[in-house]
Structure 1
Amino acid sequence: MLTTIRAHQRSFILGISFLIPVLLMGGYFAYRQMAPFGSSSLLTVDLGQQYVDFFAYLRSSLLHHPSSFFYSFAKGLGGEMWGTDAYYLFSPLNLLLVFFPGRFLTSGIMLILLLRYGLAGLSFAWLLDKTGWQKGPRIWAFSTAYALNGWMIANQLNMIWLDALVILPLIIWGLLKLFYHQRPGCYIFWLAVMMIDNYYMAWMICLFSLLLFCWLLPEAANWRARGWAALRYGLSSLAAAGIAAVTLLPTIYALLQSKGTYTEQVIHSHFEYFPFKMLAKLVPGSFNFDQMPSGQPNIYIGMLLLMAAFLYFFNRQVTVWRRLVALGVTLFFLLSFCYEPLDLLWHAGQFPVWYPYRFSFLFCCWCIILAAQTLQRNFRPRYWQLALLLLITGAVFAYVSQLKLSYLNASQRWIGLGFALISISCLAIPRKDAPRLYDLLLICLVICDVATSAFTSLNNLAYVSQGEFAQYTTQLDQATKKLRQHDRGLYRVAKTFTRTKDDPFQGDFNSGDHFGSTLEPAIPNFMGAIGQPAGDGFVTYANGTQVTDALLGFKYTLAKQNWAATALPPSGYRPDWRQLPITATTANIVARHNSDSLPFAFGASSEILQLPHTTLDPVSYQSQIMQALAGRPVNKQLFQVQNFNSVQFNNVQTSKQITGTIFKKRDFLKPASIRLTFIPSTNDSYYLTVGPSVKDDATLSINNKAFAQSSNYRDTVVINLAHRQKGRPVTITFRLKKMSAWLQNVSVYQLNQRSFDASLQALKQSPLKVSHHSSSSITGTVDLKRQQSVLMTTIPAARGWHAIVDDRPAATKTVLGTFMAIPMAPGHHQVKLFYRPPFLILGLVTSLLTSGGTWLILRYQSRRRR
Structure 2
Amino acid sequence: MHLPFARSESSRRLSGFLPALAAALVPVALLAGLYAAQGVAPFGPNSLFFGDMDGQYSHFLASFSELFGRGAFYTWHKALGGEALSWAAYYLFSPFNFLVLLFPTSQLPTAVTLLTLTKAGCAGLSMQLFLRRRAGSRLSVPLSWAWALSGYLLGFSQNIMWMDALIALPLIAWGIRRILEGRSPWLYLVSLAAGILCCYYIGWMLCLYSLLYFVCGLAAGDAAGRKLRVSVRFALASLLAGGLNAWVLLPVAGALGQGKAQAAMEWGFSTNFSLPQLLGQLFAGAYPAGQDTNTLPLVFCGTLPLVLAALFFFRPGALRPKLAAGGLLACLLLSFWLRTPDLIWHGFQSPSWFNYRYSFLFIFTLLELAALGGKGFAERLPAVRQFASAGAVALLLACAWGFGVVSGWAAVLTLCCLAAAALLLAMPRRRAAGLLAAFCLAAELTANGWSSLEAFEPSSSTLPQLTKQWQSTVEELSAQAPSARMQLTEGGQNTPFLLGYNGLSHYSSSYSQTTYELLRALGCTGTSGWMAWSDGLTQSAASLLGLRWQLSGTASGQWQQQDDVWENPCALPLVVAAADIESERLALDRPFDNLNQIYSTLLGEDAGILHPIEAGPSVQSMEAGADGLHYTATGENAALHFSLTAPVSGVLYASFPVYDQYCGADVFVNGEVAGQTLLQQENGTVCLGQVQAGQTITVELRPQDDTLSLGGWSFAVEDSQALATACTRLQQQSLQVAEFAPGLVRGTIRVPEGCTALFTSIPAEPGWQVLVDGETVAPETAWDALLTVQITPGEHLVTLRFTPAGLGLGTAVSLCSLGAAATWLAARRLGHTAQKAPRSSQKTL
Shift of residue 520 of structure 1? 1.3
Separation in structure 1 between the aligned mates of residue 765 and residue 105 of structure 2, nearest angstrom: 32
Is structure 2 residue 831 aligned with structure 1 residue 858? no
| Matched residue, 1:566 | none
Is structure 2 residue 760 aligned with structure 1 residue 793? yes
The 5-angstrom pairing of residues 815-826 of structure 1 reads: 815-826=782-793
Letter in 1 for 2:652: Y
Letter in 1 for 2:137: K
Is structure 2 residue 137 aligned with structure 1 residue 135? yes
Is structure 2 residue 524 aligned with structure 1 residue 532? yes
Separation in structure 2 between the aligned mates of residue 381 and residue 659 of structure 1, nearest angstrom: 75
After superposition, give the CA deviation of every residue in 1:620-671 in whole Å (9 maximum; x if it has no partner): 111111111111258x673221779xx999x83699xx9958363424xxx6
Letter in 2 for 1:652: S
Is structure 2 residue 352 aligned with structure 1 residue 353? yes
Distance 1:596 1:381, change over 3 A: farther
Distance 1:169 1:26, change over 3 A: same
| Matched residue, 2:836 | none
Q: Does the 8 Å contact 2:413/2:444 carry over to 1?
A: no
Shift of residue 725 of structure 1? 7.0
Shift of residue 235 of structure 1? 0.4
| Matched residue, 2:486 | 493
* Worse-superposed segment, 76-85 or 280-289: 280-289
Select which of 794, 801, 820 maps to 1:834: 801
Is structure 2 residue 722 aligned with structure 1 residue 722? no
- Gaps in structure 2 of 5+ consecutive residues: 1-5, 834-845
Q: Does the 8 Å contact 1:673/1:736 carry over to 2?
A: yes
The 5-angstrom pairing of residues 271-282 of structure 1 reads: 271-282=271-282
Distance 1:91 1:755, change over 3 A: same
| Matched residue, 1:546 | 539
Separation in structure 1 between the aligned mates of residue 435 and residue 790 of structure 2, nearest angstrom: 76
Shift of residue 27 of structure 1? 0.7
* Worse-superposed segment, 814-823 or 839-848: 839-848
Separation in structure 1 between the aligned mates of residue 389 and residue 679 of structure 2, nearest angstrom: 50
Aligned residues: 821
Superposition CA RMSD, Å? 2.8
The 5-angstrom pairing of residues 283-294 of structure 1 reads: 283-288=283-288, 292-294=292-294
Report the identity percentage: 25
Is structure 2 residue 415 aligned with structure 1 residue 441? no
Shift of residue 483 of structure 1? 1.3
Other structure's SS at 1:575 match: coil
Separation in structure 2 between the aligned mates of residue 804 and residue 8 of structure 1, nearest angstrom: 64
Is structure 2 residue 465 aligned with structure 1 residue 471? yes
Distance 1:815 1:363, change over 3 A: same
* Worse-superposed segment, 155-164 or 441-450: 441-450
Q: Does the 8 Å contact 1:694/1:744 carry over to 2?
A: no
Shift of residue 261 of structure 1? 1.7
Separation in structure 1 between the aligned mates of residue 586 and residue 514 of structure 2, nearest angstrom: 13
Separation in structure 2 between the aligned mates of residue 547 and residue 299 of structure 1, nearest angstrom: 52
After superposition, give the CA deviation of every residue in 1:796-831 in whole Å (9 maximum; x if it has no partner): 111111001111110111121101110122222111
Shift of residue 712 of structure 1? 3.8
| Matched residue, 2:549 | 556
| Matched residue, 2:122 | 119
Shift of residue 333 of structure 1? 0.9
| Matched residue, 2:456 | 461
Shift of residue 464 of structure 1? 3.7
Q: Does the 8 Å contact 1:778/1:834 carry over to 2?
A: yes
| Matched residue, 1:843 | 810
Separation in structure 2 between the aligned mates of residue 483 and residue 659 of structure 1, nearest angstrom: 47
Shift of residue 101 of structure 1? 1.7
| Matched residue, 1:101 | 104
Distance 1:708 1:697, change over 3 A: closer
Shift of residue 676 of structure 1? 6.5
Separation in structure 1 between the aligned mates of residue 660 and residue 363 of structure 2, nearest angstrom: 45
Shift of residue 528 of structure 1? 1.6
Select which of 603, 612, 632 maps to 1:640: 612
Is structure 2 residue 213 aligned with structure 1 residue 212? yes
* Worse-superposed segment, 840-849 or 323-332: 840-849
After superposition, give the CA deviation of every residue in 1:540-585 in whole Å (9 maximum; x if it has no partner): 131421211111111122124xxxxxxxxxxxx53325x5153xx5
Shift of residue 721 of structure 1? 2.0
Separation in structure 1 between the aligned mates of residue 574 and residue 21 of structure 2, nearest angstrom: 55
Letter in 1 for 2:441: V
Distance 1:437 1:421, change over 3 A: closer
Distance 1:816 1:533, change over 3 A: same
Separation in structure 1 between the aligned mates of residue 150 and residue 351 of structure 2, nearest angstrom: 20
* Worse-superposed segment, 371-380 or 510-519: 371-380
Q: Does the 8 Å contact 2:193/2:245 carry over to 1?
A: yes
Letter in 1 for 2:556: P
Separation in structure 2 between the aligned mates of residue 228 and residue 831 of structure 1, nearest angstrom: 57
| Matched residue, 2:576 | 602
The 5-angstrom pairing of residues 662-677 of structure 1 reads: 662=631, 664-667=633-636, 672=638
Other structure's SS at 2:226 match: helix
Is structure 2 residue 22 aligned with structure 1 residue 16? yes
The 5-angstrom pairing of residues 40-439 of structure 1 reads: 40-62=46-68, 66-131=69-134, 133-136=135-138, 138-218=139-219, 225-262=226-263, 264=265, 267-288=267-288, 292-317=292-317, 319-376=318-375, 377-379=377-379, 382-385=382-385, 388-389=388-389, 392-403=392-403, 408-427=406-425, 429-432=426-429, 434=430, 436-439=431-434
Is structure 2 residue 785 aligned with structure 1 residue 782? no
| Matched residue, 1:580 | 560
Shift of residue 747 of structure 1? 4.3
Is structure 2 residue 598 aligned with structure 1 residue 621? no
Q: Does the 8 Å contact 2:506/2:530 carry over to 1?
A: yes
Letter in 1 for 2:465: Q
Q: Does the 8 Å contact 1:220/1:226 carry over to 2?
A: no
After superposition, give the CA deviation of every residue in 1:716-741 in whole Å (9 maximum; x if it has no partner): 52112224778999775543322344
Distance 1:380 1:47, change over 3 A: farther
Is structure 2 residue 564 aligned with structure 1 residue 593? no
Separation in structure 2 between the aligned mates of residue 58 and residue 823 of structure 1, nearest angstrom: 36
Shift of residue 351 of structure 1? 1.4
Separation in structure 1 between the aligned mates of residue 696 and residue 498 of structure 2, nearest angstrom: 39
Shift of residue 337 of structure 1? 0.8
Other structure's SS at 1:106 match: helix
Q: Does the 8 Å contact 2:496/2:503 carry over to 1?
A: yes
Separation in structure 2 between the aligned mates of residue 516 and residue 777 of structure 1, nearest angstrom: 23
Q: Does the 8 Å contact 1:630/1:760 carry over to 2?
A: no
| Matched residue, 2:621 | 652
After superposition, give the CA deviation of every residue in 1:390-431 in whole Å (9 maximum; x if it has no partner): 6544543343334456xx53322333344334433432x122
Shift of residue 61 of structure 1? 4.9
Other structure's SS at 1:298 match: coil
Separation in structure 2 between the aligned mates of residue 642 and residue 156 of structure 1, nearest angstrom: 52
* Worse-superposed segment, 744-753 or 162-171: 744-753
Other structure's SS at 2:749 match: strand
Letter in 2 for 1:335: L
Separation in structure 2 between the aligned mates of residue 388 and residue 203 of structure 1, nearest angstrom: 37
Q: Does the 8 Å contact 2:401/2:411 carry over to 1?
A: yes
After superposition, give the CA deviation of every residue in 1:174-227 in whole Å (9 maximum; x if it has no partner): 112222133111111111111111222121111111122122225658876101
Separation in structure 2 between the aligned mates of residue 61 and residue 216 of structure 1, nearest angstrom: 40
Distance 1:294 1:640, change over 3 A: same
Separation in structure 1 between the aligned mates of residue 368 and residue 659 of structure 2, nearest angstrom: 52
| Matched residue, 1:737 | 704
Other structure's SS at 2:557 match: helix
Shift of residue 708 of structure 1? 4.8
Shift of residue 845 of structure 1? 2.8
Separation in structure 2 between the aligned mates of residue 307 and residue 36 of structure 1, nearest angstrom: 37
Q: Give the TM-score, by structure 1 length.
A: 0.89
Q: Does the 8 Å contact 1:289/1:461 carry over to 2?
A: no
Other structure's SS at 1:717 match: coil
Other structure's SS at 1:246 match: helix
| Matched residue, 1:713 | 681
Other structure's SS at 1:294 match: coil
Separation in structure 2 between the aligned mates of residue 481 and residue 615 of structure 1, nearest angstrom: 35
Q: Give the TM-score, by structure 2 length.
A: 0.91
Letter in 2 for 1:531: G
| Matched residue, 2:843 | none
